[in-house]
Amino acid sequence: MAGRNVGVPRCGAAGTQSRGQLAAGQDLLAREQEYNVKLKYPSVQTANDVAIPDDFSDFSLAKTISRIEGQLEEDSSPGHADDDILCGVSKDIGTEAQLRFLKAKLHVMQEELDSVVCECNKKEDEIQDLKSKVKNFEEDCVKQQRTITSQQSQIEKYKNLFEEANSRCDGLQQQLSSVERELENKRRLQKQAATSQSATEVRLNRALEEAEKYKVELNKLRQSNKVHKAGFCCAGVRRAPPGHLFSQRSSVTVSHVLGLQPVYQDEASSLERARQQDGPSSDDSLPCGD
């Protein structure tokens, strides 16, 4: 585009715009030269006769270029803006100035590109940090998931053990209830046996008392029989009525004692069975009968 428009003036409105464009281009070139000198020789002091603008510290080449482009767009149509400024610059300052102008613009674009690349690198670093954090979070999530799975398996295991313990507890409770019923029945039977034992003891005591009475009467009858026998031997006479009465009474006593003997044996056998059922505690309560 520069070779196409070098040394070719524009007619009409282009000639009027070329003077303003020339001044803007010269100002831009002067600023660019001063900027290059400062970059190339930072320790060299600037001469007093060199024109340095007061606002050089706030100078921005990108802003200047954008301002010039805006002015050109306002003064001319969008299609011929670049051609007008390049025509004016090429007409008055030549190809070398155009190259320097384009280099300055390229330098500004390079700086902007470097800043964009720096920002992209920062964003890339942030993205890498976020990716590492996400990876760590995923690893923690996997670990937590494994922990939750193991805890759930342990919970299921303990739940099964709890259900098994409950079933065993129910079975033991039923066994305990049956044992308690059996114990209650045994206690009832023990009470009944104790009651019958006490009644049997009373009956045995009465039978023993009667047996003692009959034994005493039998001894008395034996003594009286001896006396009668002695008297009969001395007198030489036997009296039938007293002997008959003695034999009758002795037979009645013996029959009564013999009748009480099976009763005593039955009671003794029943007491022995009760003693075997109740245990050794009931052996001390039984009387010793002769």
* pLDDT interval class at 2 (50, 70, 90): very low
DSSP state of 238: -
pLDDT surpassing 60 at residue 123: yes
DSSP state of 46: P
Give the pTM: 0.33
Residue 98: Cβ within 10 Å count: 20
* pLDDT interval class at 21 (50, 70, 90): low
**27-68 pLDDT per residue, tens:** 666 666 665 555 554 444 444 444 444 444 455 556 666 776
- Mean local confidence (pLDDT), 55-83: 57
Sign of the four-CA dihedral 140, 142, 147, 151: positive
Structure tokens belonging to residue 255: 């029959």
Structure confidence at residue 16 (pLDDT): 45
CA angle 211, 213, 217 (to 5 degrees): 115
Structure confidence at residue 218 (pLDDT): 86
Structure confidence at residue 51 (pLDDT): 44
Q: Where are the domains of the chain?
A: 2-92
Top mean pLDDT of 10-19, 223-232, 265-274, 280-289 is at: 223-232
- Mean local confidence (pLDDT), 181-187: 93
CA angle 230, 236, 237 (to 5 degrees): 95
**204-216 pLDDT per residue, tens:** 888 888 888 888 8
Structure confidence at residue 122 (pLDDT): 93
How many Å apart are CA 135 and CA 142, to the nearest integer? 10
Structure confidence at residue 286 (pLDDT): 42
The backbone torsions φ and ψ at residue 50, rounded to the nearest 5 degrees and listed phi first, read: -85, 130
Q: Are 228 and 249 in contact (CB under 8 A)?
A: no
pLDDT surpassing 60 at residue 252: no
What does each C-alpha distance from 66 to 61, 99, 140 come to in angstroms? 8, 18, 52
Structure tokens belonging to residue 50: 């060199």
